[in-house]
Amino acid sequence: MSEYVQTRVANGTGIITLDRPKALNSLSLEMVRALTETLLAWREDASVDAVVITSSSEKALCAGGDIRFFHQAGHATPASAGCGSALLEDFFTEEYALNHLIHFYPKPYIALMDGVVMGGGMGIAQGGPDTGLRIVTERTKVAMPEVNIGLFPDVGGSHFLSHAPGALGMYLGLTGLTIGAADALYVGLADVFVPSAELAALHALIAATPGAQLAQAIRAFAAPFAQQAGASELEAQRALVDRHFGASSVQAVMDALEGDASPFAQKALNAMRQRSPLMMCVTREMLVRGAVLDVADCLRMERSLVRRNFEHGEVLEGVRALVIDKDNAPQWNPPSLDAVTPEMVARFFEPVWPAWAHPLRHL
């Protein structure tokens, strides 16, 4: 088990506490394995009726994968070798398998999405529609910001973003911008709102309620606070988002935004100008494909895309610029949107393995 993943069972509820506060609970391979081991054990344990995942810090549930590890492991061997190291290959295979396990978990899986919940954090928060319960607070900061580091919205993002209403998932995937509680609820990435001032009472409720009744009890507890989440900006801007981000290409999206002087449109445009041109195009294609795939096939597609991404090296450059050298000046390849060809994008979707050899073939 990982020192950063604390687990206990009380009153029929398995409680997982992520405890890596200095890294905002960024996921390491060790943490992914600890989460998987715990959830597999509790899945078969009749004394566990529900699972709660929370954090030791109010700053974040989980800020994503450990991208410093990505950079280090990605440089371990020549790029032509693929992802760069066996540990990196293992990380993505096991992380995506964990995402699948959570999505189809047979017991209520309750995620307390207080603070930052981004990237890989979303993958461990987005439980299945029948048993998942996602709680947000006024401190919640949700994003799928991968295009900012030369990656794409993974951990099942090709499924949960592509199934968001209208073009909202495309907006979140292409801009990588952060949303709060009201927007997360509107987009369908959260279920209930609880003010942070009530979290002590919520934890007391969790301790006092049998696991079999917990999800229903939390919904009842949260109901009086629903209006306190505030108004959703994305709901107010829904027509604009659908109009611009429903365009037929990334270039068409940006052209539409350029013709819209509203602050909302210009913020989105300025964000996209900083992102990897290639990975925005890959992301758009991925979301189009993901809209007609099930969860398992989405994760298998993402697993292949990860391998192609590390072969190309875009994420290594993005992490270098953002986290390693911190110059915030990534040298994207290609450097501009007009230099991205359909062949470059298509390359990312070419099969890496035969179907029978895919590392996630058993999902």
Which are the catalytic amino acids?
A: 65, 120, 146, 154
Element (H, E) at 260: none
How far apart, in whole angstroms, are the C-alpha atoms of residue 250 and residue 4?
39
Q: Long-range contacts for 125-132 (Cβ within 8 Å, ≥24 apart)?
A: 125/53, 125/61, 125/62, 126/99, 126/102, 126/156, 126/160, 126/189, 127/102, 127/103, 128/102, 128/103, 128/104, 131/105, 131/106, 131/107, 131/215, 132/102, 132/103, 132/105, 132/108, 132/191
Instruction: Report H helices in the chain.
Output: 29-43, 67-74, 86-103, 120-123, 157-160, 168-175, 181-187, 199-208, 214-222, 233-236, 238-245, 250-258, 263-274, 277-290, 295-312, 314-319, 342-348
How far apart, in whole angstroms, are the C-alpha atoms of residue 62 and residue 139?
13
Give the type of residue at 168: L
- If phi > 0 it is left, if psi is from -120 to 50 it is alpha, else beta; for residue 293 that is beta
How far apart, in whole angstroms, are the C-alpha atoms of residue 353 and residue 270?
37
Element (H, E) at 10: strand 5-10
Q: Nearest Cα to 147, choosing from 117, 175, 112? A: 175
The DSSP bridge pattern shows strands 5-10 and 13-18 to be antiparallel
How far apart, in whole angstroms, are the C-alpha atoms of residue 51 and residue 56?
16
The DSSP bridge pattern shows strands 132-136 and 192-193 to be parallel
